[in-house]
Structure 1
């Protein structure tokens, strides 16, 4: 394409979404969970600049040095209607460049995909949101109702410096908002040539990130010691790591399995995990953990010298519980760990669940079908957590809806916090079209 042709070609949401995604990926916003990373200030300023270009003023709010979120409100045609929140986080988990095919902060386009940390979690949705809003405002198309945009810090470490801070300190920013869409929903799962399911998140597990501590008797490493804290802790951690919590089918999981059974034409038995998950292909990683509570050991620490038996040993565990099952989860956890282990929360948050109905869900389904005639939207429960937990405290009904049509062979679930994270360019463009239709119908 010549320069003269490029200069006269109109910029659209579809034409710029990949570049917006690449720009965001190139801004390193790695969140190490200890407030020592680069922060999200540069990403917040980028978002504010892109919104300012189409006449929208975003507020940049810092909760701590460099920990910044950007929030903006776009007036709708009917301001008497409740508002809609579209939220996304700009922080990402760290990445080791040596493990990647393409540098994780290069935003390189290869094999039809934008590669980089955040490509699916979740700078893709941030880019799609910016692309849609910028095109609508360039062409003078107001949304039917007020839209609040929130590009948030710190989601990857629980949202303390992002969504939680804004909900606690600046709830006025979300005045009049009753519904929200955010990450980890709206992506496709191809059943066959005649059916693609799009998973809409209506529930997510609660969390207990916890520290386990065992105290023992310190001593010389050459001596016998029947009260070794490391031994006691490791035995408890091993029991927990091997423990299978019982299957518990929640309302959302039952609805998903019913929808999937109908789509596949076979009965899915949640009590037979192996047979059920074998039918789910690439989404088994996302769905499998929603059939039971989970507690995964993730870190161990103790001692300071090889010939010294320490008096204390610690471990960290990522615990997740299904909606309505927190008390059961904690009681079973303590039973497995035993009386010698002291546990304390590092970060805890509630589970969340809403129903799969209403005008907003209808708008999602209609927008998906308009762009993909074989689309069928189904509810599902997320095994992890999102900023929806914080916004639900304001009475906002939250859904995961970041629409992407994906090739069947792409291991989408495996790329969350994984190596070689990438998103198809045509998937981003599909998402722009769907979100635009969704805003018209919501």
Structure 2
């Protein structure tokens, strides 16, 4: 695939030299100008020199100038020099006019954006974010304005909706979380984003399916490889960064509740209404995605969440080898606590309970450096609406968190509209500001 892309790029470059493009003539004019200017400079040097090696070609030119008065030779060289500079400037100017005359204002904006990406954003830190769902996409929308070196690692255990159907019928990694994260990192037009986020409302076999999910499925069939399909999807969307699954194996999520009950399937875990004790992957010995490990090895900052604790964040950390890779990296690890509790999953959970659940499930004592907790951002009416759904603002228990060995960042991170969610820009700003102060300074021993 890479070879084909390279050949295509070469063919496109050769379009500059097709008949009628009129670029060749300007290149020839500039080249002629360089030759004439060089000749003029050579004459200047020869007129100023006193000794010339007779074996040198310059000797012939020097001999010819001896038959001409030095001032005439000087004026001739000066004319050649001016003519040469004129030809160079003329050729370059005409080439630029001809080239940019075919570029629209939108194209110029795209060029400027490419320069910005390849200079400012390309120099940004290597950031790995781990989770899934709406929460992770919210963070990514803000982060992409700070760096293009982003890798989102998402869960492969989704079994509901369009993703679940594709997973069951085609044996493919559920593409839903990958698609939503790619759209969050995309630079493409709003219409294109709306297209890939479109969900069919009717039609036999299509109802409930997401177009973006079907696109990834079709691309997987065409390329014969899921990861290649995701890479091509990323190119279509002009994504800043990459999105990878924590495992490419066909896995399911099992929940074990405090009362001993068990349920299999990520989509039904929160519907039991019982307190979750722990979750497990089946099979437990699934193979970690090599690209996820490579991203962690490059990472300068690792972020967990925001996202559903038991169905988006922890499932990634249960993939063998992933937490171990994080432990080996002595870089800051942040955990972003959800703004609200999640009915059926984190009922009555405080910020401490969220962190404790992660540490218990991973069997790692000192794993997270900083915990970000929201301190407000929505009014009583919004709280009341969420209360009717069984969701409440996550309470802050700073002392208990600090006793775990983590530092607490208290900020107003939620937006002020009709949804109790993190604000993309606020969240990214606070995260990257802290990173700028603590880069390469993990608090773990």
TM range, smaller chain: under 0.3
**Structure whose alpha-carbon radius of gyration is higher:** 2
More strand by share: 1
Question: Larger relative CO (CA 8 A, sep 6+): 1 or 2?
Answer: 1
